[in-house]
Amino acid sequence: MQISLKRINVLFDADSFVDRQPAAKSHFICGEGTINSVKTFLVMNRGGDCEFQGGGQWRTAEQIISTVTQARDKCAPLIYIQDKAGGTGSFDTTKVLSPDMARLLLSPFGMGRVSASLAEFAEGNLLISAILGPTSGPLALPLMLADLVLMTEKGALCMGRPDMVKAMLAQESDLYSLGGTDVHSKGSGSVQLVFKDEEGLFECIRKLLHGSFKGKAPHGLEYEEPDAADFEKLIPSDHRAPYDMHHLLHSFIDKGSFTEISAEYAEEVLTAYASIKGNFAAIIANNPRHNGGAIYRKSASKMIKMINIAAKTNMPIIFIADIPGFMIGREAENSGIFSAAAELFRAHVRCKVPKLLLVARKAYTGGVYAMCGPGFDPVAVLAYPQAHIGVFSPDTMKKVMSESDETTRSIMRKLTNEIENPELLKINGLITDVIEIEHTREQITKYLFPVGSEAGA
């Protein structure tokens, strides 16, 4: 059986895939089928089933563009899969030369239009790309337009192949140091999920499409309760002490439902999807274990990607805040932290799905807004009893207070009292409710998944 057909059989529901141009002589298969009953389009190169040679390959671009247009018209997700043509042998520029390369580059319906059509598609529809083998240059650029870029350990992604880097820059390099999984999952952040093999990658896609578009975990009501947790030890009482947000999340989400996105990139923010009582949701949480949970430019971009995925799939979002705010200082200013905040706020208002904010331990200044606080239309703002919420931390207020007159100190004492007592904020109508940590699972379900919306109901 051909490699391409095996991949289709693993990814798509049995007998559902239709190759729209089965007789076309191209390096790509383009068609549609269902994945866990979700209508999905596919653009996939044939990898080891073909060699990059001969003329007429510019027609491949037309085939891809047609498929992308159909997916856009039907508002269906699209998966773009790339592997090295031929599957074996060296990865060098001479292997991809063909007589019609000028036409591929310069035709209005060539590779430029492929990238443009995918960019247009991704404005409002879910685009997932998968890298199963080495790819580079113009063939790689369309992959980066995706909301989610998945890669196997055999995959690699580079703007220029090692031989081109040597020819143009006189730099010696190898394929995986240029664009392997470590480079793009930890360094550049261009790849969000890495898998040992393509079977795991395809299973992840199947799970995501079912959960995000169906609104529930793939097994419906067969969700598992989380393991018992020692709630008193999940969050340190010292508001400056680091802790791992993963432990809190696993205390209230369904067991085995958690998939983290970009786990080793911008770790001060955690992005994932999971289910709660079978209801599928995106999760965006600060992680005080890394950089105190402050938001940097990279972490803001990571949040935006998750918000955009939720918007395109209609997934509710749970924001868990333990945040001192946006990062400040000379380095942060040079990085463009204001631009990052602006981009994040725009993502919030574009995304119309239900959102809930839970303040776990603290939320100060612009961090309240970064985590979709009041004014950005969350369905509820919840807080644990020990949470601090305000413009400044109590410590900062005390430092400023010591140099102020009595009138100012009186105002600061009142503000500090409000910051340290979320019950006062609730009484004043500034937050929705104060909840106990052990009731998180039930309270999130209550506000984000009202009665009648629970999975399978």
Distances, alpha carbon 368 to alpha carbons 14, 235, 273, 284, in Å: 47, 19, 21, 13
pLDDT of residue 48: 72
Q: Which of 36-40, 105-109, 279-283 has the lowest mean pLDDT?
A: 105-109
Residue whose C-alpha is closest to residue 426's, from 364, 392, 366, 384: 384
Q: Tokens 């413009």 appear where?
A: 391
Is residue 381 assigned to a domain? Answer: yes
Average pLDDT, the chain: 89
Whether 247 and 375 map to the same domain: the answer is yes
Whether 169 and 250 map to the same domain: the answer is no
Task: Give the torsion through C-alpha atoms of 300, 303, 305, 306, to 10 deg.
Answer: 180
Would you state the structure tokens that stand for residue 211, as one six-digit string? 């959960």
pLDDT band of residue 28 (cuts 50, 70, 90) is confident
CATH number for the domain harbouring residue 138: 3.90.226.10
Is residue 454 assigned to a domain? Answer: no
Is residue 54 assigned to a domain? Answer: yes
pLDDT band of residue 457 (cuts 50, 70, 90) is very low
Q: Give the burial string for 432-441 (b: 16+ CB within 10 Å, else e).
A: bebbebeebb
**Dist. CA 166–CA 170, nearest whole Å:** 4
Whether 327 and 435 map to the same domain: the answer is yes
> Could you give the number of structural domains in the chain?
2
Checking if the pLDDT of 55 tops 60, the result is: no
Whether 225 and 196 map to the same domain: the answer is no
Is residue 223 assigned to a domain? Answer: yes
**Dist. CA 313–CA 305, nearest whole Å:** 13
Give the predicted TM-score (pTM) of the model.
0.91
Whether 189 and 254 map to the same domain: the answer is no
Rounded to an integer, the average pLDDT of 344-364 is 97
Rounded to an integer, the average pLDDT of 216-241 is 84
pLDDT of residue 108: 79
**Dist. CA 13–CA 323, nearest whole Å:** 43
Is residue 290 assigned to a domain? Answer: yes
pLDDT of residue 191: 95
pLDDT band of residue 220 (cuts 50, 70, 90) is very low
How many beta carbons lie within 10 A of that of residue 430, not counting itself?
A: 13
Whether 416 and 281 map to the same domain: the answer is yes
Rounded to an integer, the average pLDDT of 277-282 is 95
Is residue 456 assigned to a domain? Answer: no
Checking if the pLDDT of 217 tops 80, the result is: no
Whether 167 and 249 map to the same domain: the answer is no
pLDDT of residue 455: 46
> Among residues 201, 224, 248, which one ends one of the domains?
201
Whether 255 and 343 map to the same domain: the answer is yes
Whether 188 and 286 map to the same domain: the answer is no
Whether 267 and 406 map to the same domain: the answer is yes
Residue whose C-alpha is closest to residue 344's, from 376, 321, 314: 376
Checking if the pLDDT of 318 tops 60, the result is: yes
pLDDT band of residue 84 (cuts 50, 70, 90) is confident
* Domain span including residue 240: 216-448
Whether 362 and 319 map to the same domain: the answer is yes
Is residue 109 assigned to a domain? Answer: yes
> Among residues 144, 178, 201, which one ends one of the domains?
201
Whether 194 and 296 map to the same domain: the answer is no
**Dist. CA 38–CA 211, nearest whole Å:** 10
Is residue 343 assigned to a domain? Answer: yes
Percent of the chain predicted with pLDDT > 90: 69
Pairing of strands 156-158, 78-82: unpaired
Convert the pLDDT of each residue in 148-169 to its tens digit.
999 999 999 988 888 888 889 9
